[in-house]
A and B are shown apart, each in its own frame.
Chain A
Amino acid sequence: MNEGPDTEVDDTAVRTGGEREALPDAHAERERRLYSTIISSTPDLVYVFSLDYRFLFANEALLRMWGRTLEDSIGKRLLDVGYEPWHAEMHEREIDQIIATREPVRGEVMFPHAELGPRLYDYIFVPVLGPDGAVEAIAGTTRDVTEMRQSEQHQAEAWAAEAEARQAAEEAVRVRDEFLSVASHELRNPVAAVRGAVQFLQRMRAADALSEERLGIYLEHLETSSRHLVRLTDDLLDLARLQHGRLPMRFETEDVASLVRRVASDARWEGHQVRLELPEAPVEAVVDSTRLTQVIENLLDNAVKFSAAGSVVTVRVASAADGVLMDIKDEGIGLGPGATDEIFDPFRRASNASAAQGLGLGLSIARQIVEEHGGRLRAESPGEGMGTTMHVWLPWRPVQEEGA
């Protein structure tokens, strides 16, 4: 064992001990030059510890990192050459472990380079074994992996960003596919009714079994189904136009309160109690009355669709300093947390609305129309089962967007 302070540079420690005497001097000298060149020119840090934690050897790269000379470093412990106490302690315990186990230790650690500042180092300590198999010194090499780790991290970040983008794209495709499947399903019912009705009518007429009364009922169903088809088709067309930002608007001065009155009087809402809270004076704003009618219809339709028959739907119109306020409040299924934005996505509906009929485009079309006026449409709900209020704000006259 090599005990006690050892202040000499003992390079035999890195060789296998027994062969030294066997080598001819010239050969040994040549080998020494070879190793010395390799060790002094490598950018990696190369060093040897004695069993009592003192540096027996340090190559040029290590001395440069420390900013020290060889004479000033050999025989010194880690603490003496400027390592912080936790760091010196860590390596000395690793040396103890290697002596006990004769197994190498590998790790990664930050250290302030004298010229380059804080760097990340990957190090490995290995036991140097004597002829008797006992550990006689600990040799170490350390590599600056700062750039490698940074580029690995950049790569990982790039991959993560790419994966996220791909996931978002896949999700968008999935949501759209789902919408297309719902849309196709929704279109197939009225088409089936029309086609079925026409075929049965033909067969009945051929069998001379078509009474006036029966023809009347079939025609009624044909009318209802074709109107339904027109509505679905209009919604799909609006969606396509809105997605390309091309919904032509015709603005003129209108009384918003009387638009509300007209829409609310439609027989479609008879199953609910529609209450109006309208100011007595007209609420005149510059709007596209056809499109605003569509907004009121869609919002009422939504309120009615998601609340029990006979429940109250309240429509309130008021003048504010900067425009018209319109609230449509129902006592329906309400919205869960996070759903107040989702319901305006054309390809989604809130999770508690999945069983509803229709394409579910009404709200996104309504929001788009309101925004074409320079206004805002948002949903508010105290929670599922607690009703929903749609808040519309329209400026007195449409705010022209840039380039519009």
Chain B
Amino acid sequence: MRKTRVLVVEDDPAVSFILVDGLGFEGFEVLHAVDGLQALDLLPWPPDLILLDLDLPRLDGRGFRRAQLETPQRDIPIIVLSGAQLDSVADDLKAVAVIRKPFAIEELVATITAAAERA
């Protein structure tokens, strides 16, 4: 069975390392972008799911999502992972789930797995 490919879009170096290495250990194939522009560049290697931070340099999470919806990869689901207040974010960005930092690994893994299966 092919591994689920997750694109992690996150600018904090420590959080990025932990997500990339930890999700790799959990059995996912992980791509990493430090901002929205890099994430757009990686879309042609389509992930099954995008784990998106909102506060990013150059192109932030919202800007990335808007741009992504204009690409052939518009149907790739996103999970928002942010430290910000996330009351209306899920609807605004049509995210399948919203997880607030700090996160519980089991919840994160379960959410990614469920979203990837649905997609």
Contacts and interface: CB of A to CB of B under 8 A. Distances in A.
A195 to B, nearest CB: 4
Nearest to A190: B14
A187 B14 CA distance: 13
A209 interface: yes
Interface in A187-215: 187-197, 199-200, 203-204, 207, 209, 214
A189 B18 contact: no
B14 A355 contact: no
B77 to A, nearest CB: 21
A185 interface: yes
A189 B15 contact: yes
B87 to A, nearest CB: 12
Interface string B25-36: 110000000000
Interface stretch (A217-225, A282-290, A316-324, A334-342): A217-225
A333 to B, nearest CB: 14
Interface of A: 181, 184-197, 199-200, 203-204, 207, 209, 214, 217-218, 221, 224-225, 228, 355
A10 B108 CA distance: 98
Interface stretch (B41-49, B67-75, B89-97, B99-107): B99-107
Given A195-B102, A196-B103, A203-B105, A189 B25 contact: no
A181 B84 contact: yes
A161 B113 CA distance: 58
A222 to B, nearest CB: 8
Which of B17, B84, B100, B102 has the most chain A CB atoms closer than 10 A to its own CB? B102
A191 B15 CA distance: 9
A181 B85 contact: yes
Contact of B83 (A189, A199, A214, A217): A189
A221 B57 CA distance: 21
Which of A181, A184, A191, A196 has the most chain B CB atoms closer than 10 A to its own CB? A196
B104 A199 contact: yes
Contact of A196 (B15, B57, B85, B100): B15
5 contacts: A181-B84, A185-B82, A192-B15, A204-B25, A217-B17
Name A's interface SS: helix
Interface in B50-70: 55, 57
A112 to B, nearest CB: 64
B19 interface: yes
Given A192-B103, A209-B25, A184 B18 contact: no
A80 B14 CA distance: 93
The 10 A-B residue pairs with the shortest CB-CB distance, nearest first, are A188-B83, A193-B14, A192-B101, A200-B22, A192-B102, A195-B102, A185-B83, A199-B105, A196-B18, A188-B101
Given A181-B85, A199-B105, 13 more contacts: A188-B83, A188-B100, A188-B102, A191-B102, A192-B15, A193-B18, A196-B105, A197-B22, A199-B22, A200-B22, A203-B22, A217-B21, A224-B13
B17 A221 contact: yes
Contacts of A209: 25
Contacts of A200: 18, 21-22, 25, 105
Contacts of A194: 102
Nearest to B55: A185
Nearest to A223: B14
Contacts of A193: 12, 14-15, 18
Contact of B18 (A186, A197, A228, A355): A197
